[in-house]
Amino acid sequence: MQYTHLGRSGLKVSRLCLGTMNFSWTTDKPDSFRVMDMAHDKGINFFDTANRYGRPIWGVTEEWIGEWFAQGGRRREKTVLATKLYGEMGDWPNEGKLSALNIRRALDASLKRLKTDYVDLYQFHHIDRGTPWDEIWQAMDVAVQQGKILYAGSSNFAGWHIAKAQAVAAKRNFTGLVSEQSIYNLIERTVELEVLPAAQDFGLGIIPWSPLHGGLLGGILRKEGQSARRLEGRAVETLNRLRPQIEQYEAFCAELGAEPGDVALAWLLHQPAVTAPIIGPRTAEHLDAAERAVALQLSPETLQKLDAIFPGHKTAPEDYAW
């Protein structure tokens, strides 16, 4: 496994991040434990979760991770643990978003479920337009002083949200954000307009979620009719709309002698500011494919061909002004 710093921080994380959203949804507890054990065996030290992950009730995923930590074997010490807050955890006022009150309560609740006394990376799952950044950073500063969190990150932010957050943090002499978690893949490249440039300028590491765009970049055409996983809703519409491009993509991957999913992950690892794509294996075996992507080197010619199939964006405003 390869490692890199998370943004401008001194924290070293694996180039793949283990996403846990499937735990308790499509992956049962024994398999979830096996996936986490195998991730460590492969050198993946970066795990991502959220307080709202879990079925049938929110918080179950964090609880399972806590139970896994409790088995010992330095599982917690070997893990860079990231979780998130924002979504409502109940139907009473102040049980969601980013008020100082909810940050305090949500963090303590996550720590209890995770059976740990600190979180390495505490992420804002969404922008809270109703809470000023002075309040947010004051609450986070208190949590840092208490030793409950080490770093702060964002998720699904626009470029100007990052800029505003960092400006207020600098005024308070606070570190601010060290990472941004965004949807980013060969198909969905909107973040190239302003989010990636902002992240690079402010020293944030990008943690892409949905790196295979819901499976569409994982060899979906080859698997049609034989996969147990069925596309529904917008995924079907996207496949129908992009079928010619995906056909070109899968044919090009065959020319390269590489699996489409490996190429999609490897492409992300070649992009500026990207720290670690989030992989969400439903079984331990799915980790093997992701591991191959880290070692896969794509030539400049290959990167140009992929850009031709799935055109990206120039940095704003050049993308639409010149």
Average pLDDT score over residue span 291-300 = 93
pLDDT in tens, 170-212: 999 999 999 999 999 999 999 999 999 999 999 999 999 999 9
Catalytic residue status for 53: yes
**Pairing status of strand 3-5 against strand 12-14:** antiparallel
Cβ pair 3, 252 in contact under 8 A: no
Q: Strand pairing partners for 12? A: 5
Cβ pair 154, 84 in contact under 8 A: no
**With 70 as the cut, is the pLDDT of residue 238 above it?**
yes
Q: Which of 3, 53, 184, 320 is an active site residue?
A: 53
SS3 per-residue string spanning 63-75: HHHHHHHCCCCCC
Q: What is the DSSP letter of 27?
A: B
- 222 band by pLDDT with thresholds 50, 70 and 90: confident
Q: Give the angle subtended at the CA of 14 by the CAs of 181 and 210, to the nearest 5°.
A: 35
The token duo for 32 is: 């979830």
pLDDT of res. 291: 86
Stretch among 153-157, 217-221, 306-310 having the lowest mean pLDDT: 217-221
- 228 band by pLDDT with thresholds 50, 70 and 90: very low
Q: Report the sign of the C-alpha dihedral through residues 206, 158, 245, 322, in that order.
A: negative
The SS3 call for residue 249 is: helix
pLDDT in tens, 38-74: 999 999 999 999 999 998 889 999 999 999 999 999 9
Q: What is the DSSP letter of 77?
A: T
- Domains identified in the chain and CATH numbers: 3-321 (3.20.20.100)
